[in-house]
Amino acid sequence: MIEHALQKTDSALRCPEESLVRFYEAVSYSKKTQLFIEETMQEEDFLFFFRDIWVALYEEMSYHIQEIEQPYHRLLAKVLDTNAYVMCRRMTVKESLPALVGAYHITEYCYPLVHDDYLETSTVEEQVERAYEMMRMVIQGVDELVDFNIGMYEFREQIVIAELIADTQEAKEIAKYSRIFQQIIDEVGAMATDTYTTEFELMQHRFFIEGSPETVTEYLKKKKAAETMLQSHYRNNVIYVPFQNAQQGDGPYIICLEQTARTKRFDIQTKALVLLISRLAKQYGRDLCIIPYANDVKGHYYFEKGNIPVDELSQFVRHYEDGEANILPALSFALTILRQNDEQQRSDIIFITEGGMIREQRLLDSTYKQAVESFLTMRNVDVSALVLNERLFDEQQYWFINDVYFAEELFE
C-alpha cells in the first residue's frame, strides 16, 4: 500500500509530515464523498453548484500556472468526479484546495514508483523531489489566487460558499431556483436567437436576392421587429426576459424587493432572482443596490461592481421584512440612490412586488407624478416590475413602471 511506503522512514518515497497528513485527509474524505453522493442523489440540482466552483477555479488557475497545466488538468478531472467533496468536510475552498492538490501530486507521481522495480533509487528520489516541488508550487499558486479572487465569485460560486457557512435548507432552495431561472434565461435566449436569425436571413434573401418590392424603410422596420424577439418570449401569461438590455447600462441596478406577509410564500424564489441579477451586475461591472421594504425602508444593501461579500450574502439570504406594502418609501429611496450617481449613467430600477393597490396619495398626485417622470427621463432610468399577482395589478396606479412581467406561474 502506498500509505505504508509513504510512512516508512527508510523509503525512497519518504514524505514530509504535513503532506502525509493531507494525503490521509484526502483519502478519508474521498471515501465519505462517495457515501454522500450515494445517499443524496435526490439533491442533484444542488450538487451542480459544487461542479461550477471547481470549473471556475480550474479556468482561473490553468491560465496562470502554465508550468503544470497537464497535471492540473488531471487533478480537476478527478475532483469533478467527486463534485461534492467540499460538502463532506464543510471546509472553505481555501482550506480544501491545498489538501486536494497535495494528495493528488503524491498519488499521481509517487504511486507508480512503488511498483516499478527497474527504477534506481536515485531516480526515484529525483522524481519524488520534483513531485514535492511541483506540489508546493501548486499550493502556493492556489493560495494566492484564492486570496485574490475570494470576493469576486459570480453568483453560482457565491451561493456555494453561502451554503457552506449557512448550512440551511433555505440556501439550498435559493440555489436550486437560481439554477432553474438561469436555465430558462439561457434556453429562451437561444430560442429567440435561433428564431431571429432564421427570420433575418429570410428577409435578407428576399430583399437582396429575390428583389422584394419592399422599400428599405419597410425592410428595416421588419428587421427591428425581428430583433425584438430577442427581448422576450411568452408562455401562457408569463413573460420570460433574458435581460438582453441589461448590459447596456453603466449605472446601478436598484432592486426594490417587497417583503410582506402576502409575499412570504415567494421569498425563496424572489431572493433567487435577486441573486441572479447580482450575477449580471458582476458580469457587466455595475453597482447593485437591494432595497427590501414593507411598511418602510429600514436598510439596504449596496455592492460596488456586483462584488458581494460572503457575510452580506448570507445576511441577505436570512433577511425578511414584514407588514403591509408601502411602495412610496422604496421608490423615494431608489431615487435618492440615483441622485448620488453620475447623471450620465443609464440605470435600472426593478420592483419585485405583489402588485396590490397603491393607497399612498402622494403617488397619485399629478404634481409628484410629473416631477418623478421628468427625473427618470432626464437620468435615463428604466423602471420595470416583476409582479407576483396579475389579478391585483392596476397599471394606471403603477404609472412609473415602463415594463411589467407577470411571474406567478413561473414561481408556482
Q: How many residues does this entry show for the chain?
A: 412
Residue 320 has a pLDDT of 85
Most confident of 16-20, 103-107, 249-253, 385-389: 385-389
CA dihedral 270, 396, 376, 381 (to 10 degrees): 40
407: DSSP letter = -
pLDDT band (50, 70, 90) for residue 254: very high
pLDDT band (50, 70, 90) for residue 246: very low
Residue 1 has a pLDDT of 39
Mean pLDDT of 173-180: 68
8 A C-beta contact, residue 23 and residue 103: yes
Domains along the chain with CATH numbers: 2-150 (no CATH), 236-411 (3.40.50.410)
Residue 396 has pLDDT above 80, yes or no: yes
Residue 362 has a pLDDT of 87
Residues of 176-213 as b/e, b for ≥16 C-beta within 10 angstroms?
bbbbebeebbeebbeebeeebeebeeebeeebeeeeee
Mean pLDDT of 257-276: 86
pLDDT band (50, 70, 90) for residue 316: confident
Task: Please tell me whether residue 387 adopts helix, strand or coil conformation.
Answer: strand
Residue 387 has a pLDDT of 86
328-374 pLDDT tens trace: 999 999 999 998 877 667 888 999 999 888 888 888 888 999 999 99
Residue 198 has a pLDDT of 56
- Grid cell locating 286: 455595475
Average pLDDT of the chain to the nearest whole number: 61
pLDDT band (50, 70, 90) for residue 172: low
- Grid cell locating 341: 450617481
More confident residue, 16 or 396: 396
Determine the Cα–Cα distance for residues 135 and 373; give it in Å rounded to an integer: 61
pLDDT band (50, 70, 90) for residue 256: very high
Determine the Cα–Cα distance for residues 281 and 286; give it in Å rounded to an integer: 5
Determine the Cα–Cα distance for residues 328 and 296; give it in Å rounded to an integer: 8
Residue 75, number of CB atoms within 10 A of its CB:
22
23-75 pLDDT tens trace: 454 445 444 444 444 454 444 443 443 343 333 333 433 333 333 333 333 34
Residue 349 has a pLDDT of 92
295: DSSP letter = S
Residue 288 has pLDDT above 70, yes or no: yes
Determine the Cα–Cα distance for residues 189 and 287; give it in Å rounded to an integer: 24
Which amino acid is present at 405?
Y
Determine the Cα–Cα distance for residues 106 and 23; give it in Å rounded to an integer: 7
109-141 pLDDT tens trace: 444 444 444 445 455 445 545 544 544 554 454
152-161 pLDDT tens trace: 444 444 444 4
Q: What values do phi and psi take at 301, rounded to 5?
A: -115, 130
Residue 236 has pLDDT above 90, yes or no: no
Mean pLDDT of 285-309: 86
Residue 185 has a pLDDT of 59
- Grid cell locating 185: 434565461
Handedness of CA 33, 35, 37, 43 (dihedral sign): negative
180-209 pLDDT tens trace: 666 665 655 555 455 545 555 555 445 444
Mean pLDDT of 313-326: 81
